[in-house]
Structure 1
Amino acid sequence: MTHRKGASLEKGSQKDAPSQQAQVIWEKLRTSFWLVPTIMGLLGGLLAWLGYSGDLVLSRQVGAPAPPLVYLGTADHARDVIATLLSSMITMTSLVFSITMVVLTLAASQSGPRLIRSFMSSHHTQVVLGTFIMTTVYCLLVLGSIGSYTSQEQQAFASVSGAIALALASLALLVMFLHFLARSIVSETVIHRVGLELDQSIRDLDQSRGRRKPIRGPPFRLSSSRQQSSRAARSGLCAGDRL
């Protein structure tokens, strides 16, 4: 009987092992600081290719009016705009996150190291960092592409308009990120976040236990020797009570 129970337990643990490993891998990816920025960096390369294609289409429309909200100028002016945006994004990214790590280090000394882990796993932080990296990659690729196909005449550049739009989006996310950073170091926010993580861990544990089938065996029965010893013990207790 014990051998059957041990075998069933081993089978259950072997079935749950892949799901547990998948949960561990997903937790590592979720709390990592590189997954979302890497994906958004690749997205920046795709957007740069789309901007390059748009510039090629607009360069062939000689004499046609430029579409609205599209940058109009020479190739040298376009490169100057992209270079300015690129240097600004690199400076802003390095400055913001260096200040952020200093603030979190000081806050973690009071609230504990869990604050840094929760900050790294937050989608706000990952999306903001990913947007900065996406804009930087976009500006780098567009800066290298401008001038390879254009003349010194004035024309429309869709890629420059895209760079300006990404820079404005980065500024908006920067303001939201500073607001989130100011609230994330407050003790009430830290306690609330820890409580949410604890509730999620309990739900995951209940789900993993619910997937396991309960082990059902035959009813427990005493052997004949144990039944005799239990009867003798009961008779001795009854005799003691009578005395």
Structure 2
Amino acid sequence: MRLGTAFLRQTAIELRASYWFIPAALVLCAIALSFALGWVDRHPWVTSFLPDGFFSAKPEDARATLGVIASASIGVAGVMFSITIVAVTFASGQHGPRLIGNFMRDRGAQWSLGILMATFVFALMVLRAVEGAGPGANSHAYVPQVSLWTALILSLMSVGTTIYFIHHVPDTIDIANLIAALGRQLCLRVRQPDLVVPEAARGLRPEREQPVWEVKAGKPGYVRAVDPDGMAEIAVRESLRITLLAPPGSFVSSAEAAFRVEGGPPADEIAAALRKTIAIGEGKTVEQNTLFLVEQLVEMAARALSPGVNDPFTAVYCMNWLHAALIARLEAGEEEPEKAEMEEEEEPGLVVLPRLSWRELLEQSLGACLPYARPDPLAGAALRKLLGRLHGHAAGPDKAAVSRLLKRLEAPQEGDRT
């Protein structure tokens, strides 16, 4: 039985969001490389193809060189970690705490720290293998020459990594680059649904319409990952219609329903299997949750328009990218009114998954920015212009939704933020 994919997906999300995984992997690779090159150094025939005198370091020189490499790399790694913490603190305080995950997932910072830590560990592993000549006649000095040259190469890589990192950090926290990175990711994500019903569950119906019962989430938290294939396997095997009530990004308590099941009597085994198809954690993630990207851009726009910050141009940047995502969704051709009506009339298959509509995306993005942008002349004028351009691209019910937002912008409603 194919279950547990949601747990594996959540594990992959946590590893990707962790700051330690890539550095730890590079450190392990450095240890393995030191043993492999140690074997090479113990077999002189491997280096016989190189010119004479290419490897000529003495034990005391090797120790001094490796000691400098190790101390310098660990010192720079500490400074690099401090710079990262300062950048994360600044960005989260200025633009929103939900952006911390973006910095934690930053591959440039992870690889930079990993290369420096790997250089430090490799230098230490090679340093322990250097042997000086003893007082005895049978004692000989030993210097792992290939490993020493490899440590020198890694030190040069560390210098380049440091230069890259010093450029990368201010480039990452630049507000325009930060917004553009979120916006580009959002434009890609809106072109396809977060959850897709597996082919095996389409076009089928349960043998019986009744009874109908619900499966509770089992523990509180945010739904972080969903396994549609696992749901389809259960639905087809048991001839049930399973409706997901808690999509990724939603918060559920232990007593709230996460699934609705039609076509069979309640069974603890089915309920337990269904709970394994969702992963519940402490916070939201961008995996299978396009709205989380929208929320980050809206939060940045709202903070920029707060009296304490008063930065309408940052809010305009955010709204421009939200507008670009809405246009990208329209260009994907998934919100044609005729097609949407046909899909609503069709009988659902054995698995029913929530789908983010264009009108919901509009309301959660530019609609959420409206009460913050309306009091500000610059942001309000920019939002009015964006909605006007969007009105020309939309059609049918989508155009009507844009028109309603324009009316709200022109005529403030009671309850909106002022």
TM-score by length of 1: 0.70
CA RMSD of aligned residues (A): 3.2
Report the equivalent of 2:62. 78
Report the equivalent of 1:138. 122
Shift of 1:147: 0.8
- CA distance in 2 between counterparts of 1:178 and 1:21 reads 37
Give the 5 Å matches for 1:1-243: 18-58=4-44, 66=52, 68=54, 70=55, 72-147=56-131, 151-152=140-141, 157-199=145-187, 202=190, 205-206=193-194, 208-211=195-198, 213-214=201-202, 216-217=204-205
Shift of 1:214: 3.6
Q: Compare the two structures and name the one with the higher helix fraction.
A: 1
Inter-CA distance 59–79: structure 2 relative to 1 (3 Å threshold):
farther
Shift of 1:21: 2.7
Shift of 1:161: 0.7
Shift of 1:185: 0.5
Q: Which protein has greater RCO, CA pairs closer than 8 Å, 6+ apart?
A: 1
- CA distance in 1 between counterparts of 2:42 and 2:111 reads 31
Q: Is the contact made by 2:80 and 2:113 (CA closer than 8 Å) also made in structure 1?
A: no
**C-alpha deviations, 1:95-128, integer Å up to 9, x for none?**
1211221132122211212332112112211111
- CA distance in 2 between counterparts of 1:44 and 1:67 reads 27
Shift of 1:168: 0.4
- CA distance in 1 between counterparts of 2:99 and 2:25 reads 25
- CA distance in 1 between counterparts of 2:47 and 2:159 reads 33
**C-alpha deviations, 1:191-228, integer Å up to 9, x for none?**
1222344456556744x32326346559xxxxxxxxxx
- CA distance in 2 between counterparts of 1:90 and 1:122 reads 21
Shift of 1:156: 7.1
Inter-CA distance 146–60: structure 2 relative to 1 (3 Å threshold):
farther
| Paired residue secondary structure (1:33) | coil
- CA distance in 1 between counterparts of 2:128 and 2:175 reads 47
5+ residue gaps in structure 1? 1-13, 219-243
Q: Is the contact made by 1:78 and 1:146 (CA closer than 8 Å) also made in structure 2?
A: yes
Asked which structure has the greater CA Rg, the reply is 1
Q: Compare the two structures and name the one with the higher strand fraction.
A: 2
- CA distance in 1 between counterparts of 2:197 and 2:188 reads 15
TM-score by length of 2: 0.42
| Paired residue secondary structure (1:146) | coil
| Paired residue secondary structure (1:73) | coil
Identity of aligned residues (%): 25
Amino acid at match of 2:73: M
Q: Is the contact made by 1:76 and 1:152 (CA closer than 8 Å) also made in structure 2?
A: no
**C-alpha deviations, 1:37-59, integer Å up to 9, x for none?**
11111110121113322332349
- Count of aligned positions: 199
5+ residue gaps in structure 2? 134-138, 207-418
Shift of 1:188: 1.4
